[in-house]
Amino acid sequence: MATTSTSASLAKLRVVPLSCTRQQRRLGFIAAIATIVIWSTYFLSLRSSALSPLSVLEISLFRYVIPAALLCPLLIKRWSKITAVAWPYLLGMIAGAGLPFFLCSAIAMSYTPVAQGSTLMPGVAPFFVTAIAVLVFKQPFERYKKIGLSAILIGVLLLLANSFNQSSSQQLLGQALFLGASLLWAVFTLSARQSGLSPLETAAVITIPNALILVIYVCLNPSHSWGAGQVAIAELLSHMLIQGIIVGLLASCCYSFAISRLGAELSSALGSLTPVLASLLAFGLFAENLDPLTIFGIISTVIGVVIASGYKPSKALA
Taking only the tens place, the pLDDT of each residue in 224-279 is 778 777 878 887 888 788 888 988 899 889 999 999 888 887 888 788 778 777 77
Q: Looking at residue 98, what is its pLDDT?
A: 94
Identify the band that residue 122 occupies on the pLDDT scale cut at 50, 70 and 90.
confident
Identify the band that residue 164 occupies on the pLDDT scale cut at 50, 70 and 90.
low
- 131 vs 163: which has the higher pLDDT: 131
H helices present in 136-251, as ranges:
143-166, 169-195, 199-220, 233-239
Distance CA 273, CA 85 (A): 31
Identify the band that residue 94 occupies on the pLDDT scale cut at 50, 70 and 90.
very high
Q: Taking residues 96-111, report their average pLDDT.
A: 88
Whether the pLDDT of residue 70 is over 60: the answer is yes
Identify the band that residue 6 occupies on the pLDDT scale cut at 50, 70 and 90.
very low
Q: Label residue 310 left, alpha or beta by phi (over 0 means left) and psi (-120 to 50 means alpha).
A: left
Q: Looking at residue 166, what is its pLDDT?
A: 61
Q: Looking at residue 73, what is its pLDDT?
A: 96
- 71 vs 312: which has the higher pLDDT: 71
Q: Which of 32-41, 67-76, 78-87, 157-166 comes out lowest in average pLDDT?
A: 157-166
Distance CA 276, CA 274 (A): 5
Distance CA 3, CA 9 (A): 10
Inter-CA distances, 56 with 13, 50, 104, 241, 242, Å: 35, 8, 10, 16, 15
Q: Looking at residue 2, what is its pLDDT?
A: 41
Percent residues over pLDDT 70 in the chain = 83
- 288 vs 224: which has the higher pLDDT: 224
H helices present in 51-142, as ranges:
56-77, 79-83, 87-96, 99-108, 114-135
What rounded mean pLDDT belongs to the chain?
81
Identify the band that residue 206 occupies on the pLDDT scale cut at 50, 70 and 90.
very high
Distance CA 47, CA 52 (A): 9
pLDDT in tens, 19-65: 566 787 888 889 998 998 888 877 766 666 555 677 888 889 999 99
Identify the band that residue 135 occupies on the pLDDT scale cut at 50, 70 and 90.
confident
Identify the band that residue 9 occupies on the pLDDT scale cut at 50, 70 and 90.
very low
Inter-CA distances, 222 with 54, 56, 219, 226, Å: 16, 15, 6, 10
Q: Looking at residue 301, what is its pLDDT?
A: 80
pTM confidence score: 0.81
Q: Looking at residue 118, what is its pLDDT?
A: 74
* Amino acid, single-letter form, for residue 95: A
Size (the chain), residues: 318
Inter-CA distances, 271 with 35, 51, 162, Å: 8, 25, 23
Quick count: other Cβ atoms within 10 Å of Cβ 260?
Answer: 24
- Whose CA is closest to 118, among 282, 311, 258, 262? 282
Quick count: other Cβ atoms within 10 Å of Cβ 230?
Answer: 10
Would you call 151 helix, strand, or coil by DSSP? helix
Distance CA 53, CA 158 (A): 32
Q: Looking at residue 248, what is its pLDDT?
A: 85
Is 194 within 8 Å of 88 (Cβ atoms)? no
Furthest-apart CA pair in the chain: how many Å? Answer: 60
**CA dihedral sign of residues 116, 120, 121, 122:** positive
Quick count: other Cβ atoms within 10 Å of Cβ 157?
Answer: 14
Q: Which one-letter DSSP state was computed for residue 198?
A: -
- Whose CA is closest to 301, among 160, 156, 147, 144? 156
Q: Looking at residue 268, what is its pLDDT?
A: 83
Please name the residues in contact with 277: beta carbons below 8 A apart, sequence gap of 6 or more: 36, 37, 40
